[in-house]
Structure 1
Amino acid sequence: MATRPISAEDHDRIAEAIRTAELKTDGEIYCVVARASEGYFFPAAFTTTIGLFIASLAVAYGLEGLWLTIRLPHFVLAQLLALASVFALLWFLPALRIHFVPRRLRYQAAHANAVKQFLARNVHRTQARTGVLIFVSIAERYAEVVADSGIDAKVGQHVWDGVVRDLTKHAGDNRLADGFVKGVESVGAVLAEHFPVTEGDTNELEDHLVEI
């Protein structure tokens, strides 16, 4: 997924796409992109610890098969040094951590962050409960559309899945900003179909992309 920073021009394009989409609907669209949804030090440390112990067993059996011996204190010391080295790498090179975390845990963390942002940004506080969050977490290669109850009751999950597919495809091509613009347009069309703009409609959420 894209790692290129989103420029000020990209922010302006996304904000304009949100404003344009909301001209046709009473719904509200909010966009958030996270560099990562979790630090992952402890999950990565746990995974690498298990891996090192398995490797230690393999080495021990290998030495025995070769009729070689090593004193137990030396063997334990080697294990501890290897473990300390791995922990130091994980601590000082955070980008390594996610590679040792199972995809299921990464997606769980990203989904939890999406829900957290949905609530923290008050997307659930719109008058007609028609707020929609478009969320991307770059490190996890994860995207999600979170819709409030008003719109979710009328729109099937397959619709949001289609938006996510387009968004992740753009992100995979290092065109994350274009993906957000396209996603906003798609979500806006869905909102306009089910909740067309009415007289007296007000803008309830800020029209911009938030980076966290």
Structure 2
Amino acid sequence: MGKVNQFTPDDHKIVTSAVSLAEKTTDGEIVTIVTGESDHYGDIAWAISGLVALTALLLVSLFPELYLGIIDWLAGGWSGITALPYWALFVFTALKFFGTRLVLIWKPLLFILIPPPIKKARVRRRAISLFRVSTDHRTVGRTGILLYLSMREHRAEIVADEAIVEKVEPTVWGDAMVALIDLVRGGQPGEGMAEAVRKMGIVLAAQFPKTDQNPNELPDRLIEL
């Protein structure tokens, strides 16, 4: 996905160290992943373009005199057009449609227009997808957990394996999420993820204390996509 990550080599070291320290006290296995964006949102850009084109066509049909006046003005009062021809409506609508889509190639504008619920759903979907690939059922005790951060959407997700889900309510991770978002917003993404990992480690240590029978099964390093 998009490369808008703000993680430096030092940030990677901070997060990796936090994971290693947290896992010294628990059989839980923490995986950390950061990405620039969770989706390209091309379908949303096309949908917005279609909405703009249809809205423009509706305005033309409601106020044809206004557009006829503009054409007459551009022609210096000699257009001689009394009704908009169908081909002109088609060209006008097509220009609005493809023009909007061209403008929305600029991601900052597109992300302003995407409704927050759509961003939330796409980030969650991506987090679950990555969890299935990197964490799900890859530990002996089903104690893997993913901390996922999507920078452009300004959203994070925690997805846990079945043994953790059975013992820990999703709301328990609230403190970790708050710490993460606050520090990322303050320009400290590495510290944010590290602090979230530390808080996750406290919860995991209480429910899944460290035993000698549980090896380090998943990578401690921060994965940057």
Name the residue aligned to 1:29. 30
1:142 to 145, 155, 175: 155
Question: What is the distance in 2 between the residues matched to 1:8 and 1:129?
Answer: 31
Name the residue aligned to 1:205. 218
Name the residue aligned to 1:46. 47
Secondary structure, counterpart of 1:160 in structure 2: helix
**Is this contact kept in 2: 1:110–1:142, CA < 8 A?**
yes
Ranges in structure 2 where 5+ consecutive residues have no aligned partner: 70-82
Name the residue aligned to 1:75. 89
Secondary structure, counterpart of 2:196 in structure 1: helix
Residue by residue over 1:56-76, the C-alpha shift from the partner in whole angstroms, topping out at 9 and shown as x without a partner, is: 312432334788453332232
Larger Rg: 2
Question: What is the distance in 1 between the residues matched to 2:164 and 2:115?
Answer: 33
2:185 to 146, 156, 172: 172
RMSD of aligned residue pairs (Cα, Å): 2.0
Name the residue aligned to 2:79. none
**Is this contact kept in 1: 2:38–2:122, CA < 8 A?**
yes
**Is this contact kept in 2: 1:29–1:131, CA < 8 A?**
yes
Secondary structure, counterpart of 2:27 in structure 1: coil
**Is this contact kept in 1: 2:57–2:93, CA < 8 A?**
yes
Name the residue aligned to 2:59. 58
Question: What is the distance in 2 between the residues matched to 1:65 and 1:81?
Answer: 18
Residue by residue over 1:31-73, the C-alpha shift from the partner in whole angstroms, topping out at 9 and shown as x without a partner, is: 0111111111122211221122113312432334788453332
**Is this contact kept in 2: 1:37–1:113, CA < 8 A?**
yes
Residue by residue over 1:70-116, the C-alpha shift from the partner in whole angstroms, topping out at 9 and shown as x without a partner, is: 3332232122122222222334x344433333222221111111011
Question: What is the distance in 2 between the residues matched to 1:142 and 1:9?
Answer: 22
Q: How far off its partner does 1:147 sit? A: 1.2
* Deviating more after overlay: 35-44 vs 165-174: 165-174
Question: What is the distance in 1 between the residues matched to 2:181 and 2:60?
Answer: 42
Does residue 90 of structure 1 match 2:93?
Answer: no
**Is this contact kept in 2: 1:123–1:133, CA < 8 A?**
no
How many residue pairs were aligned?
209
Question: What is the distance in 2 between the residues matched to 1:33 and 1:195?
Answer: 25
TM-score by length of 1: 0.89
Identity of aligned residues (%): 28
Question: What is the distance in 2 between the residues matched to 1:151 and 1:5?
Answer: 30
AA of the residue aligned to 2:92: A
Secondary structure, counterpart of 1:146 in structure 2: strand
